[in-house]
């Protein structure tokens, strides 16, 4: 029935969820692919789960899974990959600093490419956040050679069969383009809009935006060396 599923990781975002519902519902009416929404509640301790259940009850295209405890963004994205059944998937952060309508910009390229990621143009973040992200992206490019300027951008579209083959660990959500390249897939980045956070609080500080990802680069190098990649020529 659906062609495209948007994964929405949620961790203590009760102040944002009504706006998330409004904007994603509006997007489903203009999407160039028939779109479903999958909330992944990452063990929220506020009222997020009750709001998610109410949203899903009144909107047919919305569904959810909920963790027993907080596991982190990479785990939430991986769970979304595992549960999605449509041929295409994407994800967006529940802070809505990116615009759902920009998924249409990415979907226009997904036929030729296997991952299309946004690049946040004119970022509306603090100086420290912008600089730490710029440094972290430069370090990752040195390790991965993926050519991507903004791998942390929370707006991506991926072919589901590629996404399901990605071996995830904590922090690897920043290496999704590189992990598609390991599968001999094709990737591209497209400029998108960016907005300041309207409600709730950011979940990342200087450590997990800069120093943590540096350690993850070495994990990626180990993964690249050990990654199993094969193509089936025939079956019977």
Strand partners, 62: 37
What pLDDT score does 233 carry? Answer: 86
- Interval 114-134 mean pLDDT: 72
pLDDT at 5 over 70: yes
C-alpha span between 36 and 41 (Å, rounded)? 16
Quick count: other Cβ atoms within 10 Å of Cβ 145? Answer: 10
Residue 91 confidence class, pLDDT cut points 50, 70, 90:
very high
Dihedral pair phi/psi, residue 58, rounded to 5°: -100, 0
C-alpha span between 80 and 8 (Å, rounded)? 8
- Interval 213-219 mean pLDDT: 78
- Interval 135-148 mean pLDDT: 71
- Interval 5-15 mean pLDDT: 96
Highest mean pLDDT among 81-90, 115-124, 135-144, 190-199: 81-90
The secondary structure element, H or E, covering residue 106 is helix 103-107
What pLDDT score does 120 carry? Answer: 81
Q: What is the pLDDT of residues 144-192, one digit of tens each?
A: 777 777 777 889 999 999 999 988 778 777 889 988 998 999 999 999 9
C-alpha span between 137 and 133 (Å, rounded)? 6
What pLDDT score does 219 carry? Answer: 79
Q: Which CATH number fits domain 4-226: 1.10.10.10, 3.90.550.10, 3.40.50.1220, 3.50.50.60?
A: 3.90.550.10
C-alpha span between 209 and 217 (Å, rounded)? 13
Q: Tokens 């495209």 map to which residue?
A: 4
**DSSP conformation letters of 55-93:** HHHH-TTEEEEE-SS---HHHHHHHHHHH--SSEEEEE-
Entry pTM: 0.84
- Interval 34-49 mean pLDDT: 97
pLDDT at 127 over 60: no
What pLDDT score does 30 carry? Answer: 97
C-alpha span between 137 and 89 (Å, rounded)? 23
Q: Tokens 């100086």 map to which residue?
A: 127
- Interval 194-211 mean pLDDT: 60
pLDDT at 216 over 70: yes
With both helix axes pointing from N to C terminus, report the angle between 212-226 and 127-144 in degrees, rounded to the nearest 10: 20
């Amino acid at each position: 029935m659906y062609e495209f599923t948007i994964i929405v990781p949620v961790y203590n975002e009760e102040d944002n969820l009504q706006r998330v519902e409004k904007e994603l519902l509006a997007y489903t009416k203009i999407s160039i692919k028939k779109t479903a929404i999958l909330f992944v509640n990452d063990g929220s301790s506020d009222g997020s789960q009750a709001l998610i259940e109410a949203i899903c009850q009144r909107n047919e295209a919305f569904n959810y899974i909920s963790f027993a405890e907080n596991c982190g963004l990479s785990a939430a994205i991986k769970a979304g990959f595992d549960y999605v059944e449509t041929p295409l998937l994407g994800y967006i952060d529940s802070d809505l600093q990116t615009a759902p309508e920009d998924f249409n910009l990415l979907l226009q390229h997904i036929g030729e490419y296997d991952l299309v990621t946004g690049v946040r143009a004119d970022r509306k973040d603090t100086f420290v956040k912008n600089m730490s992200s710029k440094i972290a992206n430069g370090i990752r490019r040195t390790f991965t050679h993926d050519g991507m300027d903004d791998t942390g951008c929370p707006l991506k579209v991926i072919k589901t069969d590629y996404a399901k083959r990605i071996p995830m660990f904590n922090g690897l959500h920043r290496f999704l383009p590189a992990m598609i390249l390991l599968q001999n897939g094709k990737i591209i980045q497209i400029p998108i809009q960016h907005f300041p956070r309207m409600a709730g609080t950011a979940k990342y500080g200087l450590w997990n935006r800069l120093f943590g990802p540096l350690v993850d680069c070495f994990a990626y190098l180990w993964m690249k060396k050990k990654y199993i990649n094969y193509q089936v020529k025939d079956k019977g």
